[in-house]
């Protein structure tokens, strides 16, 4: 345990490592400072050995190495530890092995900045947060902790509310060319708005990090967020369907032909508010032939979990396009899922972005014929 630390600057001043002195190995600096504190074992020719055991046991490493000011040795049932404040930079940890850590002294770690500008609309408070990450493999989880930290500082409470986030992920592809992904989403929760607002960004980072197409380097993550205490959602109550200009009726089953003109009229009730109606129109396409279901509502499961198979898209560009095209929580969507000669066909028929999060799904058994 220790205090927050500022990231070392390239070309800045480095403290000398001392055998028997304190040694901090850091995954991140800033709002969220994560690492471990131990002892420098040996110093020679611009390198230092420390800890006498692994920190995260990653083998090759890119962590920051810092000096520390030990305040106390705290005893514990599973081992004592140092309580310390992290101080001056020493260099960069490049090996994290069973025998301990190795650091190159006087060399700054490569930093991946996570920055967030968050505004609590009800309080009129805006805060600029920053966490500098040294270990790319920890970027997805540290992005969540960074957002938690800014939510707690700005909202100053754990509770219900709504949020609107927009983020940009920047990096370099395997050939060195830059890439960028910008997207956003809207969230609502009656329990903890922070908890429900942080996962999408983390999932995007994990998908890019673990992609099977190219080895990437992240250059930074930028986040803009607005938060309110108000819980606002639309609850999908009923849908009526008009086919080829006919009357709108509620359906328990539906038979469609290719080229049919369909309009879905969704009835949405605001939480503790009024009801509004939203129309979605589409034409039945030939690739939708088969037996299945028409699914209306918020499309919550249109994307695989990071690390699952298959990765979206056929190449790196396709993966970024799939990430960018994900349905949002405030998108009212209609999709047709049918079982035809070539297997499961899922067709996004249409979607409309609303001003609040949507809750609920309605599924209608559907047959599509030529």
Number of Cβ atoms within 10 Å of the Cβ of 124: 7
Number of Cβ atoms within 10 Å of the Cβ of 300: 12
Q: What is the DSSP letter of 201?
A: H
- Structure-derived torsion over alpha carbons of residues 207, 208, 213, 218, reported in degrees to the nearest 10: -160
Q: How far is CA 308 from CA 203, 206, 304, 312, 317, in A?
A: 11, 11, 6, 10, 18
Instruction: List CB contacts of 142: < 8 A, sequence separation 6 or more.
Output: 27, 28, 32, 34, 114, 131, 133
Q: Please give the domain boundaries of the chain with CATH numbers for all domains.
A: 22-105 (no CATH), 112-228 (3.30.1490), 233-301+315-369 (no CATH)
Tell me: the pLDDT tens digits for 200-229?
Answer: 999 999 999 999 999 999 999 999 999 999
Q: What is the DSSP letter of 55?
A: S
How is residue 247 written in tokens? Answer: 């009357």
Q: Which helix (H) or strand (E) holds 64?
A: strand 64-74
| Predicted local confidence at residue 36, as pLDDT | 94
Of 233, 160, 165, nearest to 197 by C-alpha is 165
CA atoms within 13 A on the CB side of 192: 8
Specify whether the CB–CB gap between 95 and 47 falls below 8 A: no
Token pair 């409470």 is found at 157
pLDDT per residue rounded down to tens, the chain (370 residues): 555 666 665 557 899 999 999 999 999 999 999 999 999 999 999 999 999 999 999 999 999 999 999 999 899 888 888 899 999 999 999 999 999 999 999 999 999 999 999 999 999 999 999 999 999 999 999 999 999 999 999 999 999 999 999 999 999 999 999 999 999 999 999 999 999 999 999 999 999 999 999 999 999 999 999 999 999 999 999 999 999 999 999 999 999 999 999 999 999 999 999 999 999 999 998 878 888 999 999 876 454 444 444 567 789 999 999 999 888 999 999 988 877 666 677 788 888 999 999 999 999 999 999 9
**Distance in angstroms (rounded) separating the CA atoms of residues 155 and 225:** 12
């Amino acid at each position: 345990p220790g205090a927050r630390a500022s990231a070392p600057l390239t070309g800045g001043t480095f403290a000398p490592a001392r055998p028997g002195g304190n040694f901090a190995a850091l995954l991140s600096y800033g709002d969220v400072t994560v690492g471990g504190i131990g002892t420098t074992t040996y110093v020679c020719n611009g390198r230092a050995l420390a800890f006498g055991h692994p920190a995260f046991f990653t083998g090759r490493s890119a962590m920051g190495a810092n000096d520390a000011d030990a305040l106390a040795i705290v005893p514990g049932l599973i081992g004592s530890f140092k309580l310390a404040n992290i101080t001056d930079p020493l260099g960069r940890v490049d090996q994290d092995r069973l025998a301990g850590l190795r650091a190159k002294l006087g060399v700054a770690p490569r930093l991946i900045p996570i920055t967030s500008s968050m505004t609590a609309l009800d309080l009129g408070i805006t805060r600029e947060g920053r966490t500098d990450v040294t270990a790319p493999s920890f970027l997805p989880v540290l992005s969540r902790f960074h957002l938690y930290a800014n939510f707690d500082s700005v909202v100053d409470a754990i509770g219900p509310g709504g949020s609107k986030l927009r983020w940009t992920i920047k990096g370099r592809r395997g050939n060195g060319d830059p890439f960028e992904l910008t997207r956003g989403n809207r969230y609502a929760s009656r329990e903890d708005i922070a908890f429900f607002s942080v996962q999408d960004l983390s999932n995007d980072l994990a998908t890019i990090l673990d992609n099977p197409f190219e080895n990437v380097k992240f250059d930074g993550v930028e986040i803009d967020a607005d938060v309110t205490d108000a819980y606002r959602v639309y609850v999908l109550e009923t849908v009526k369907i008009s086919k080829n200009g006919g009357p709108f009726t509620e359906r328990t089953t539906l038979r469609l032909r290719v080229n049919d003109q369909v309009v879905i009229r969704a009835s949405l009730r605001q939480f503790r508010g009024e009801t509004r109606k939203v129309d979605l129109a589409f034409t039945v396409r030939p690739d939708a032939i088969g037996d299945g279901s028409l699914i209306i509502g918020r499309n919550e499961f249109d994307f695989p979990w990071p690390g699952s198979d298959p990765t979206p898209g056929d190449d790196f560009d396709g993966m970024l396009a799939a990430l960018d095209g994900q349905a949002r929580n405030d998108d009212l969507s209609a999709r047709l899922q049918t079982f035809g000669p070539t297997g499961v066909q899922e067709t996004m028929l249409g979607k409309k972005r609303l001003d609040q999060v949507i809750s609920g799904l309605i599924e209608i058994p559907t047959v599509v014929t030529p």
